[in-house]
Structure 1
């Protein structure tokens, strides 16, 4: 299953819940972009210099765990799942994710993980170009959104009570960059079902998505 959508729309929680409910594996592609960004910052690479990022993006040794009950992401054998959620990484992940070489490197990694999972029961993959670029042949494709206020409230709560207005500005800027980039922009993939999560609880969204998956497989 391919799940795309805007930041803060509930993709991660929904996908992990659906994968757990259906006994599938889970991949958060956004964590991979964050991991490369974290590595670039650690190595002192200027993340606003696309050529410098492209020159070193193949060096970051990223390993993604696919257990929905505890997904991990490791660099050099160290789990950086918490570190990649820092404000510093959040501020810099967009310029890194627009670099074509970064996207090409991670595209290869993502497809390898998906291909492996398809022989092991299946996988739920979330991101911003999964249904349009990474795995357009997915049996189920979803596009999750929510209004800006709802997304800002959710994200601020996740970050321990961050300023909602400031969070809304960050999300709006991320939307602008993701939708406007030349390589693999955020779009609703052909055949993707649009789900506006604004009025629903997490459990309601999971129930809805599980129903769509079961319907597709019947």
Structure 2
């Protein structure tokens, strides 16, 4: 792998998105939110005519799903078929539906290839890639692999602070039920061999960023000097 890749897995509310973005910013790396592609696909199914009735389990998503995302952590944007969906994919309807999309093997296989292609074509010398099966399935060869977790109570509180207008029932569906659905596909609560654990339950944002940067410092000199 020519680029230095930091792969970060973790459940909703663990802090992986905000922390990964800040780590990328401080390192001068690209930032790739792989969950955005799943959300964008869910948005497409809910909103685009050509996705109405489309069998996602067998569809040629490389042809049907016109997707693009910026890897610049300071200029984050997501589009589908020319539609700017950066804000739309964060809406409750999409957040509640995305687990139905993400559990399909055909979708996950496509997303794996999409992520690998985006990393390979990145203009930066390194990329921080965050998601839910990045360390074990998508980029197991990444120079640094991290599982970022936090207690369910902490994760629910963090997501509630981000989504102040979301009901308790909707929040439960977006976090706890998404955990249950995704855990049937990939175990993102226990670090696989070689994956570093960062538990942010008792850490604030800056402390979590520092913990990740410290792990990068341990790996980057050895990897880049080889």
TM-score w.r.t. length of structure 2: 0.87
Residue aligning to 1:126: 130
- Which residue does 2:195 correspond to in 1? 192
Give the stretch that moved more between structures: 97-106 or 11-20.
Answer: 97-106
> How does 1:13-24 map onto structure 2 within 5 Å?
13-24=18-29
Which of 11, 16, 21 is matched with 1:11 structurally? Answer: 16
Question: What is the aligned partner in structure 2 of residue 214 from structure 1?
Answer: 217
Q: Are 2:67 and 1:62 equivalent residues in the alignment?
A: yes
Q: Where in structure 1 are there 5+ consecutive unaligned residues?
A: none
SS in 1 for 2:72: coil
8 A Cα contact 1:2 1:141, kept in partner: yes
The corresponding residue for 1:78 is 83
Q: 2:3 aligns to what?
A: none
CA distance in 2, matches of 1:131, 1:20: 21
Output the CA distance in 2 between the equivalents of 1:90 and 1:46. Answer: 18
- CA distances 1:159-199 after superposition (whole Å, capped 9, x unpaired): 12534575245411111111112xx5546333111111011
Which residue of the partner structure matches residue 38 of structure 1? 43
| Cα distance in structure 1, aligned partners of 2:73 and 2:134 | 18
Query: Residues 56 and 107 of structure 2 are in contact (CA less than 8 Å); yes or no, is this contact kept in structure 1?
Result: no
Shift of 1:79: 1.8
1:19 deviates by 0.2
User: Higher mean Cα deviation, 89-98 or 36-45?
Assistant: 36-45
Extract unaligned runs of 5+ from structure 2: 1-5, 222-226
1:176 is aligned to 2:191 = no
| TM-score, reference length from structure 1 | 0.90
RMSD over aligned Cα atoms: 2.0
C-alpha distance in 2, partners of 1:64/1:52? Answer: 21
**Shift of residue 46 of structure 1?**
6.8
Task: Please give the secondary structure, in 2, of the residue aligned with 1:112.
Answer: helix
SS at match of 2:59: helix
Give the alignment partner of residue 113 of structure 1, picking from 109, 112, 118. 118
The alpha carbon displacement at 1:20 in A equals 0.3
- Determine the C-alpha separation between the residues in 1 that align with 2:169 and 2:67: 33
Whether the 8 Å contact between 1:11 and 1:126 is mirrored in structure 2 is: yes
Please state whether the residue corresponding to 1:54 is helix, strand or coil: coil
SS at match of 2:45: helix
